[in-house]
Structure 1
Amino acid sequence: MQKTKSALWEFLQGLGKTFMLPVALLAFCGIMLGIGSSLSSEAVTDNLTFLQGEGFHLVFTWMAGTGLVAFKFLPVLFAIAIPLGLAREDKGVAAFSGFVGFAAMNLAVNFYLTAKGVDLEDEKAIAHYGIADVIGIQSIDTGLLGAVAVGIVVSVLHQRFRTQRMPDALAFFGGLRFVPIISTLVLSLLGLLIPLVWPTFNGWITDIGRAIGHAGAFGPFFFGMGEVLLRPIGLHHILVAMFRFTDVGGSGAVCGDQVSGALNLFYAQLNCSGAPGESVTNATHFLSQGKMAVYLGGLPGAALAMYHCANKKMRPEIKALLISGVVACVVGGITEPLEFLFLFIAPWLYLIHAVLVGLGFLTAAILGVFIGNTDGNVIDWLVFGVLQGTTTKWYLIPVIAAVWFAAYYFLFRWAIVRFDLKTPGREEPAEEEAPQESATDSADSADSAPRELIAGKYDAVAILDAIGGAGNIQTLDNCITRLRMTVADAEQVDEARLKKLGAVGVIKLDAHNVQVIIGPQVQSVKDAIAPMVKVG
């Protein structure tokens, strides 16, 4: 039972991590689309006449067109990224098989509909089955859910058959070559089943979306709070993806095309000259403007409170930590470096933080702020708010952020003092005979040779030793800010030492699943550790 639970945790964490590759591309493409579409629109060029020059127009329309790449091919990107991320070896073959399986599934759907005599141009049939153009194939638009299913199936097939042996006469088709072959067969059979179940399933999803829509502003409230509560265990990506890319987040027509998913609706509207409809504005309530109250105001206020509550002698030591956390939050939309400073010290304070994030979503929805995108940082505010004109109500964000800044500052300062919370700078000083270990301390005292530090801060060898050494790590991966590991014994992971070596926090999900929160440099840390433990 324990092994099954551990394997499930590892799988769900790995699945959530695989979302990050296409989502990172999506965030970049969203910025390209936002800048290009806004600076080439008549509303902006009429006021800034120098932008009407042919050179400017060509550059910005090119940017807008380039930004569409992630939006137009989003499902197939996930179908490729999931096997790529979940595979431990031969990742290129897994990714290739993901595309092959996705195409095979949709071709099989097209075969079924055509053989059954379904009129692919009939509006009733389109609505019933959800027919759409998928990578040039008239198929059923299963969106992100179909892509995730393809990715998971291909990952299982890759793990099972990548070393498949065949008889001598068929040996050419064995080994890695067999993975895309079996993926084609299995996903083609799966594609034949989709038209039988998808209309019912699609109806369920639509009902969920309608239920959330009927909840009014409380739909975004529960979404925002849920995302924060799931973040410590790393499963928030799944919730977020559901709202961004499926009917749960909303659906409607944009410039004559039926679009599903909050983020899909927002990006489609960016490329549409018409005014946004109600379906678009309602869906956007689940996007980044809801985060901005906390990301641009609340958490910086909490950081200032932690700074003022620290011992005066300790303030110079924690200033860099807090400033880097604020910069990551405000500029990068990465909140964990600040959140994990108080999550483990006062979980109830983190719960209040989750409620305040939900209230930020609720407030933005009630006030009709229409900014969108994914990150909730100052770049989103500028590109998708300020540059899009006053219809986005971007000018309300600084006011809301200021209110949240004050609320977080006074709440955190009161809580830290009232309950004597050991936030940074308030911990008991180390005893003289046990000085704090620096990031340059060696994992082996016999090895005194200097080592190159990652970002001038992280010693990969010492971090590995604090995790329990190479022998303790069974699997190793990372997401945006944390190392994700399966270990032989979680008790061997030295949390205190890891924090001294620069980690923000350590999460032990069970006896074998551990996450070490590093921050934005986590990819470099993982890349440095991986060769030493010879895992993915």
Structure 2
Amino acid sequence: MGLVFRKKHKEEKQTKNGNTELKTAKEKNAWSNVLKFLQDLGKALQFPIAVLPFAAILNRFGALGLTFTSITDVTGLHITNKVGYWISYIIQQPGKIVFDNLSLLFALGLAFGLAKDHRGEASLVGAVFFLAIYAMTSVEHSLPEMLYKNVLTFKSDSGETFSSLFYVEKFGSDGKTIIGGIYVLNIGVFGGIIAGCLSAVLYNKFKEIKLPQALSFFGGRRFAPMVGLAITIPIALLFAIIWPWIQWVLMRFGQAVANPNNPAVAIPGTAVYGILNRLLLPFGLHQILNTFFWFQLPINGHVISPFTGAASETTEWVNGDINAFTRGIEGSGFFQSGFFPIMMGGIPAAALAMIMAAKKENRKMVSGFLGGVALVSFISGITEPIEFSFVFIAPLLLLIHALLTGIFIAITTALHIQVGFGFSAGIIDYCISFAQSWGFANYAVDVYHFTANPLWVLLLVALAGGIYFITFYTVITKMNIKTPGREDDFGSFGITEDKAAVKSELNNKNLKSDKYTVMAIKLIEAIGADNFVEIDNCATRLRLIVKDTSLINLAKVKAAGAFGTTILNKEAVQIVIGTDVEHVANAMKAQLAR
């Protein structure tokens, strides 16, 4: 009897252990799928974001020209220099239209980026999906008003009732009398993201559907827009139920955090954002965090003129810190300003510290690589090639980098410095933002009229450079961290190649003399030609889907010239190449197609 009981107990225990292991495996697989989707989302977000840098240049220079060639007062617009005004108008409008329609661009870009075959029909579904949801939720007298017209209300002086879930007070000339309400509910970039993601799901599911012959014209890819239109009805209703409350909370959050006059919230709030931004970098998830603060967070304030600091009579609500800074909203720029000292001073200094910490025999080779990407960081604000030189081999350096980023963002917030960017925090964006930043400084009062001056950013750049250099050099040398040039088997790190060897290798393979082709060949050898499923890229990384990531030779990947590798799960891997990653991706596709 005891033997039977023990045998039964053992079988139950084995079954329980087996179920536990199966459950754990399913949980790991589910997390891997979530992580892969977030990675794909981060990659797809690059499509709409890629248009911003040049759009920001056109918009800001055009707006600056309009400021000096016209006057807008209570009686309307007065053009003081017709030729200058119309030239400025022509320059500004192509850039302005991008920022005015970012939500739609996100819907188009994500639908295209997440579609398996990257065809234009997916973008059509995304556009239809977003426009339908927008029409039913983000215009006056639409579904939210049907549901919440009498919730959290305020009254105008004439007795008209408005819900503060989607209206804000419109004040009269005295600034106190409520003369009406301004409809502010807007699904914004978040709505564009949802529309783009769901459109891609529908497109991927129905793009090959077959219908009866009489309806065959509407089959395949033509079927997805129709399904999309039908799905918009419940999705729009869901947005109408939930989004007014979410935006109401976000507006209060934005008023608290994007407000330097409330330092108890603004300083730690922006600092925590900066720390999380850098900590999420190795996984490519910082783009998702950025999307919320840069494009969705509602910010309210007067419109401040460049240079002069003249303020509009009324305030405006604008979604997203980048959009708000571009518009000149007084509380904008605090989620961007602190990155300028880091990307123009800190990261280049970290590169210099790694050069000086390298072994003497390797220093020249390391200088060629790190010196070039340090210059890229200073000019354009692209820092990943440097950051990926240390984030995986020394998590302590990543933690220091994240904390220093938070500290400098806290400093710029405390000083009321407002500098924005269209792409990233390099000298180019600093220059094109200078006029607007100077206007914010002129608008500031008390001591902040002095501390908010954008010229202080240059001092902070030098300060960040000094702190980063001393900190990184000390930690690297004292802890003997194997940053580039300190490895025992340093080799070439893929930075430079012996020209004769490269030429010989190309001749043996009958290939064109091209460094990207050489790198592609080496990466394919490291990963395995039969191991590839999908090759894609974002701004600086190869984003690969493979059959088995355990088959990748990471040492060979590094020797091929990669700055860092992130294994996400059994099938997904990211390899940091740099700003010319697209050329490498194209060369890899060409080699695998041979």
Aligned positions of 1:322-471 closer than 5 A: 322-374=370-422, 375-385=424-434, 389=438, 391=441, 393-429=453-489, 448-452=508-512, 458-469=518-529, 471=530
Q: Cα deviation per residue 1:199-226 (whole Å; 9 max; x = unaligned)?
A: 2222333354456455221111111111
Q: Cα deviation per residue 1:74-132 (whole Å; 9 max; x = unaligned)?
A: 1011011111001121521101111011122233446646878979x99864742369x
- Say yes or no: does 1:299 pair with 2:358: no
Identical aligned pairs, as a percentage? 29
Q: CA deviation at 1:15?
A: 0.6
- Would you say the 8 A contact 1:333–1:376 is kept in 2? yes
Q: Cα deviation per residue 1:167-197 (whole Å; 9 max; x = unaligned)?
A: 1221111111101111111113322332222
Aligned partner (choices 264, 270, 286) of residue 220 of structure 1? 270
Q: Cα deviation per residue 1:337-393 (whole Å; 9 max; x = unaligned)?
A: 111111122111110111101111111111121211241100111110267647361
Q: CA deviation at 1:514?
A: 0.9
- Would you say the 8 A contact 2:545–2:572 is kept in 1? yes
SS at match of 1:451: coil
Return closer, same or farther for 1:398/1:258 CA change in 2, 3 Å cut-off: closer
- Would you say the 8 A contact 1:458–1:525 is kept in 2? no
Aligned partner (choices 18, 21, 33) of residue 7 of structure 1? 33
Return closer, same or farther for 1:93/1:431 CA change in 2, 3 Å cut-off: closer
The code of the aligned residue for 2:400 comes to I
Aligned partner (choices 213, 234, 258) of residue 284 of structure 2? 234
Aligned partner (choices 209, 212, 216) of residue 171 of structure 1? 216
SS at match of 2:545: strand
Return closer, same or farther for 1:465/1:67 CA change in 2, 3 Å cut-off: same
Distance 2:414 2:517 in 1: 44
Return closer, same or farther for 1:115/1:507 CA change in 2, 3 Å cut-off: closer
Aligned positions of 1:93-172 closer than 5 A: 93-109=121-137, 112=143, 125=162, 127-129=164-166, 140-172=185-217
Distance 1:104 1:404 in 2: 47
Q: Cα deviation per residue 1:310-347 (whole Å; 9 max; x = unaligned)?
A: 22221211111011111221112111111111112211
Return closer, same or farther for 1:303/1:88 CA change in 2, 3 Å cut-off: same
The code of the aligned residue for 1:301 comes to A
- Would you say the 8 A contact 1:326–1:338 is kept in 2? yes
- Say yes or no: does 1:528 pair with 2:591: no
Distance 1:77 1:420 in 2: 47
SS at match of 2:317: strand
Q: Cα deviation per residue 1:427-484 (whole Å; 9 max; x = unaligned)?
A: 114699xxx9879979x98981243365668532222221222x21223221110011
Instruction: Give the structure 2 partner of residue 18 of structure 1.
Output: 44
Q: How many residues matched? A: 504
- Would you say the 8 A contact 2:69–2:84 is kept in 1? no
Distance 2:570 2:560 in 1: 23
Aligned partner (choices 303, 307, 316) of residue 364 of structure 2? 316
Aligned partner (choices 504, 529, 533) of residue 563 of structure 2? 504
Distance 2:436 2:343 in 1: 20
Distance 2:384 2:393 in 1: 14
Instruction: Give the structure 1 partner of residue 447 of structure 2.
Output: none
- Would you say the 8 A contact 1:292–1:377 is kept in 2? yes
Distance 1:440 1:10 in 2: 41
- Say yes or no: does 1:67 pair with 2:126: no
SS at match of 1:462: helix
- Say yes or no: does 1:204 pair with 2:264: no
The code of the aligned residue for 2:100 comes to K
Please, which moves more after superposition, 509-518 or 156-165? 509-518
The code of the aligned residue for 2:486 comes to R
The code of the aligned residue for 1:92 comes to G
SS at match of 1:485: strand
Q: CA deviation at 1:412?
A: 1.3
Question: Is there any run of 5+ residues in structure 2 with no aligned partner, and where?
Answer: 1-25, 72-79, 169-182, 259-263, 304-311, 442-451
Instruction: Give the structure 2 partner of residue 262 of structure 1.
Output: 321
Instruction: Give the structure 2 partner of residue 517 of structure 1.
Output: 576
Aligned partner (choices 114, 117, 128) of residue 89 of structure 1? 117
The code of the aligned residue for 1:227 comes to N
TM-score, scaled relative to structure 1: 0.86
Return closer, same or farther for 1:430/1:266 CA change in 2, 3 Å cut-off: closer
Distance 2:67 2:353 in 1: 43
The code of the aligned residue for 2:317 comes to Q
Aligned partner (choices 59, 81, 84) of residue 33 of structure 1? 59
Return closer, same or farther for 1:440/1:58 CA change in 2, 3 Å cut-off: farther
